[in-house]
Amino acid sequence: MGEQRRERADAARNRRAILEAAEELLRLHRPDEVSIEQVAAAAGVGKGTVFHRFGSRAGLMLALMEERAQELSEAIAAGPPPLGPGAPPHERILAFLDAMVALASRNVGLITAHEHAVATQRSAAGPREANPVYRRWHAHVSELIARARPDLDATLVAHLLIGSLHNEPVARLLLDGESERLAAGLRSLATSLLGPGSAPM
């Protein structure tokens, strides 16, 4: 497995242009109103280029999500507690949920857009939930839950907690700027679950 050839300079430039154009459009319009052609036009490239770089509409959204999630990913992997390693599971979960909600509230459109993309995917429906961001988050939360409450079905509960972001009514909440409400709700859920570590109120 040697070093793989670097991406050509023009290709890299176009990738950035596309990413930025998509970001911009997604900020201005409803996710299902943003077509790949529009993105391509806004980025000043041909439609084909977008598909060459990102494979599919879903692929583009995924790339965007990875970019936005990177900071949080690093923080939970190696940042300072309580987000990063070092704090007790209980606290790390609460910290993560807060951070997750904050991040999500800044990117509802993107999440929705990705969902929409997967739903309308024409080609290979592929193995769903191949979303690396979701996987990473789920693995993290799942592991923490398992450590804090070995008797629970950690995998499932983690899906329940994280999956809330893919919930349309919940997404609406974020859209309406009520992210604090979601954060509070998740906190009380988590607190109840993780046992009497701290009072619900």
Report the site for DNA in 112-131 (rule: CB under 7 A).
117, 120-123
Instruction: Report the residue number, 59 or 84, with the smaller CB distance to DNA.
Output: 59
DSSP string, 157-174: HHHHHHHGGG-HHHHHHH
Location of structure tokens 């201005």: 28
Q: Which stretch binds DNA (CB under 7 A): 46-54, 95-103, 160-168, 171-179?
A: 46-54
- Spatial contact of 76 and 83, defined as CB atoms under 8 Å apart: yes
DSSP conformational letter for 124: -
Whole-angstrom distance, CA of residue 199 vs CA of residue 90: 13
Residue of 189, 187, 200 lying closest to 91 (CA atoms): 187
Name the 3-class secondary structure at 87.
strand
Residue of 90, 88, 18 lying closest to 57 (CA atoms): 18
| Residue 37 token pair | 């052609």
Q: How many residues bind DNA (CB under 7 A)?
A: 30
Residue 28 has φ and ψ, to the nearest 5°, of -95, -25
Report the residue from 16, 172, 176, 198 that binds its own copies according to the rule CB under 8 A.
172
User: Among its own copies, DNA, none, what does residue 7 contact (CB within 5–8 Å per kind)?
Assistant: DNA
Report the residue from 29, 130, 184, 198 that binds its own copies according to the rule CB under 8 A.
184
Q: Which stretch binds DNA (CB under 7 A): 3-11, 67-75, 99-107, 140-148?
A: 3-11
Instruction: Report the residue number, 75 or 193, with the smaller CB distance to its own copies.
Output: 193
Min. distance of Cβ 7 from its own copies in angstroms?
32
> Which letter, b or e, does each residue of 111-130 get, where b requires 16 or more Cβ atoms within 10 Å of its Cβ?
bbbbbbbbeeeeeeeeeeee
Q: List, in sequence order, every residue forming a beta bridge with 192; answer none if it has no partner.
A: none
Report the site for its own copies in 37-96 (rule: CB under 8 A).
none
Residues that bind its own copies (CB under 8 A): 30, 32, 115-116, 119-120, 125, 128-129, 138, 151-153, 156-157, 159-160, 163-164, 166-170, 172-173, 181-182, 184-186, 188-189, 192-193, 200-201
Residues that bind DNA (CB under 7 A): 5-11, 13-14, 33, 35-37, 44-49, 51-53, 56-58, 117, 120-123
